[in-house]
Structure 1
Amino acid sequence: MLRKTLLAIAVATALAGCNKSDEEAKKKEAAAKAANITLQVASEDTLVVQSTGLASGPVITGSIQPERRADLRAEVSAIVLQVLKENGEPVKKGDVILRLDETSIRDNVNSAEEAARASQQSLDQTQRMLERQTTLRSSGMVSSQALEDMELRRNTAQSELAAAKSRLVTARQQLGRTVVRAPFDGIVSERKVSSGDTAQVGKELVKVIDPASMRFEGTVSADKIGVVKVGQPVLFRVNGYPGQNFAGTVKRVDPAANAVTRQVEVLVSFAGPSQPRVAGLYAEGRVESQTSAALTVPQSSLVQAGDINYVWRVKNGVMSKAMLGIGTRDERTGNWQVLSGLAAGDTIMRVPGSNFKDGLKVAFIAPKVVKPAQAVASAPAATVADKKE
C-alpha cells in the first residue's frame, strides 16, 4: 500500500514538472512573438514635440451681466391694473409693459386744468381793468395809486397763472407715469408685481435687460492686479456652456479694491459675436497677461493615471513610455505644459493605444505617391472630353 502511494506521488510530481515546463515554454514563445511584432504607423499618427507660446496670468471669476439694464420702479402710488409682458418676452423701446390705476391722478389733472383756466380768466380780467385804468389816468380821472394797485393785481394774477400751469404739468406727468414703458430694446428679465398689487413710490416693478450687451464682470485677487492692464486678452468658460471657451478683452479695472474680500473688479467685454444670452451665469477664466515659451503636449496624447502622467515616445524605431512632469493647462489650445520627461524634437504617439508596450518596434508607412498616369485615368470623363474638344 505504501509503495502504491509513493508511486502516485512520483507520477503527480512528474506531471506538475511537465506542466510547468510547458507554461514556461509558452511564455517564452509568446515573448519571442511579441519581440518580432512591428507596429505599422503613418506620419499623421505621431507628432513632434515643439516649443510653443504658453499664456499665463491671474485667475478671474465672476458672472455674466448685461451692460444695459434698467430696474423700472413705481413713480406714483397706485394699484397695478394690467401686466402686459412676462419674463423672457422681448420688448421694443416705448412698448407698454404695465399699467397703473390712474383714477385719482386723473382727478388731479382735471382739478389742475380747472385751476389753470380760472387763473387765466382772472389774468384776462385784471388785464382789461388795467387797460381801462390806464386810459382814465391819461385823462386825469384815476389817481396814480389806483393805477399802481391795478398793476399789482395784474402781476399777482400772472404769478397765479404760472403756478397753476406748473401744477397742471406736474399732474400730467404723474398721469403719464401710470404707464410703464420699455426704455430700450431688450427682454423682460424679472417681473416683480402682478395685477392687483399696490405699488408704492420706489417699488421695483420690472427689470429689462439688453442681451446684446453682455459682459464678464469678474474679480481678481489684489496681489495679482498689478499685471492686469486694459486691453489684455481674457479666455474664460461660462457655466451652462460646457466645452466652449469665450474670448474677451479687459475693458476697465476698478481703481478700488473691495473692503471685505480685498478683490478688484475687472470688466471684460466679449471679443467676438459668440456670447451667452442669459445673465447671471457663473464664469471663470484667466487674464493672459504673460506669454512664455514652453513644451506642450495635447490632451489626446497624455495618459493620466492618478499622479502618473506619461506619453508613448518613439525613438530609433522603438516605442517606450516617457514619464512626464506637467505644469499648467493652456485654456486656448487645451495642451499641457511639459516640465520634464521630453525634449524639443521628440516624437510621440498622437493617440495612445491599448496594445502599446515598452520595446514595441515601430515602422513608418511611406505615403503613397500618385503617378501622373493614374491621376489622368482617375480624372472625370467630362474633363477628358473637354480636352478632346
Structure 2
Amino acid sequence: MFRFKIIPRILLIIGVGFSISPSSHAEEKTLHLQTIPVVYQQVNKEIIVDGIIEAVNEATIAAQTSGQVQEVFFDVDDFVKKDTVIVRLKSIEQKASVAQGEAGLREAQANLRVAQDTYNRTKKIFEKQAISESEMEKAAAELDAARARVSTAQASIKRTTQQEEYTTIRAPYSGIVKERHIQVGEVANVGQAIMTGFSLDTLRVIATISQNQAAAVRQSQSASVIVHSLPDKPRIAVNKITVVPYADAQSHTFRVRLPLAEAIDGMYPGMLVKVAFTVGTEQRLMVPTSAVAYRGEIRAVYVVDEKGNVSMRQVRLGKESLNMIEVLAGLDVNEQIATNSVDAAIKLKTQRAATAQPATAHP
C-alpha cells in the first residue's frame, strides 16, 4: 500500500516536468527580442506651460433700435448659420417713421418740381430783361432750397429704413449661442445685449509665460499645442506666436497668443491644453515609449545582457518627445534594452520558468 501511494505521485511530478520543458523551450525559440542601445539623443529644449483655447470670433450682439421683443428663434448651445434671424423686435414705430419719411419725400419732390418750373419761367423773363436780377436770384435760391429738402427727405428715409431693419437681428457669422440675454416680451433699448455667440471656425490658444521666458519665446517663434484628449493629433504645430508687449503688473507675466491654422474636431473654447515653446536643443538619454512597462507606480524597462538574459530595471522618467521618453535615472549609456516591453515580459517569464524547471522536475 505504501508503494502504490508513492509511485503515482512520482510519476505525476515527472509528467509535469516533461510537459513544461518542451513548451518553454519552444516559446523561447520562437520569441526574438529586438534591442537597442541606450544613447544620448539631441532633442528640442522646450518650455511647457498651460494654455486655454478661445474663439477668435466671439461677440455680444446688442440692440441697435428700441422695441419689444416679439420672437427669439435660438437658445443657448444652438448652432446658428450666418445671416440667420435670431431675434425679431416689434417694428410698428419704425414702419410708421418710414411711411412718414416717404410722405415727406413726395412732398419735397413736388415742391422741387414747382420751384424748377418757377425758375425756368423766371429765367426766360430775365433774359428778356423784364425783371430785376434780384428776382432771378430769389427764384434760384428757392430752387436750391427745394433740392435740399429733397436730399433731407431721402436721408431721413435711409435712417428710418435702417431703424426698421434693426428690428430684425441676424447672426454676423456662423457659430454657437453662448448666452441669451433677453426674453420674449421684454423691451430692448439701444445698446442692450441680446445674445453672445462664438464661431468654431477660427480658434487660438492663450498662454502665460514668465518675464524670464519672454525673450527666448520671442526669439524662437516655434511652438506646438499639446492636446492629450486628441490621441490622433497629440501635437498641433503653430505658425505664429504673438507675445503682448506688456507684462501684468501683479504677476509680472506675459500673455501669448497662438492662432490655430485650422479648425480641429474635438477642440472647443475653454479647454485646457499644454503649449510647448521650442527654445533650443539639448542632449538627453532617450528610450522608445514602447520599451517602458507600467506596473502600478513602477516604471521599468527590460535590460538584455550579452548572453541574452532579460532583467527588469526600474527607471525614473522625464519628458516625452514624439515616440521617445527621457530616462532620468536607472540606466547607463550603451546598455541594451528591449524595444517592446510586452515581448520582453513574456521572455522574462519563460526565462524564469526554464530556470525553475530542474528543481520542479527533481524534488
Task: Give the alignment's TM-score, normalised by structure 1.
Answer: 0.71
Residue 163 of structure 1 aligns with which residue?
A: 152
Taking a change above 3 Å as real, the CA distance of residues 156 and 270 of structure 1, as seen in their structure-2 partners, is: closer
Secondary structure of 1:206's partner?
A: strand
Residue 213 of structure 1 aligns with which residue?
A: 202
1:76–1:178: 8 Å Cα contact kept in structure 2?
A: yes
Equivalent positions of 1:1-389 (< 5 A) are 40=28, 42-44=31-33, 48-229=37-218, 231-237=221-227, 245-253=234-242, 254-270=244-260, 274-297=264-287, 298=289, 301-302=292-293, 310-317=300-307, 318-320=309-311, 322=313, 324-326=315-317, 328-333=318-323, 335-339=325-329, 341-348=331-338, 350-351=341-342, 353=345
1:60–1:286: 8 Å Cα contact kept in structure 2?
A: yes
Secondary structure of 2:246's partner?
A: strand
Percent of aligned pairs with the same amino acid: 20
CA distance in 2, matches of 1:40, 1:76: 83
CA distance in 1, matches of 2:150, 2:185: 38
**Unmatched segments (≥5 aa) in structure 1:** 1-36, 364-389
**Unmatched segments (≥5 aa) in structure 2:** 1-23, 356-363
Taking a change above 3 Å as real, the CA distance of residues 207 and 53 of structure 1, as seen in their structure-2 partners, is: farther
Taking a change above 3 Å as real, the CA distance of residues 209 and 157 of structure 1, as seen in their structure-2 partners, is: same
Q: Deviations over 1:262-316 (max 9, x none)?
A: 222222234676443422222223223333232223376255776x765442213
1:299–1:335: 8 Å Cα contact kept in structure 2?
A: no
1:123–1:157: 8 Å Cα contact kept in structure 2?
A: yes
Q: Deviations over 1:331-382 (max 9, x none)?
A: 533623335532134224724759969x96999xxxxxxxxxxxxxxxxxxx
1:235–1:288: 8 Å Cα contact kept in structure 2?
A: no
Residue 24 of structure 1 aligns with which residue?
A: none
Amino acid at match of 2:249: A
Which has the greater radius of gyration?
A: 1
Amino acid at match of 2:146: A
Taking a change above 3 Å as real, the CA distance of residues 107 and 199 of structure 1, as seen in their structure-2 partners, is: same
1:82 deviates by 0.9
CA distance in 1, matches of 2:106, 2:277: 66
Amino acid at match of 1:350: S
Q: Number of aligned pairs?
A: 323
CA distance in 1, matches of 2:48, 2:205: 13
Taking a change above 3 Å as real, the CA distance of residues 147 and 243 of structure 1, as seen in their structure-2 partners, is: closer
Secondary structure of 2:100's partner?
A: helix
1:258 deviates by 2.9
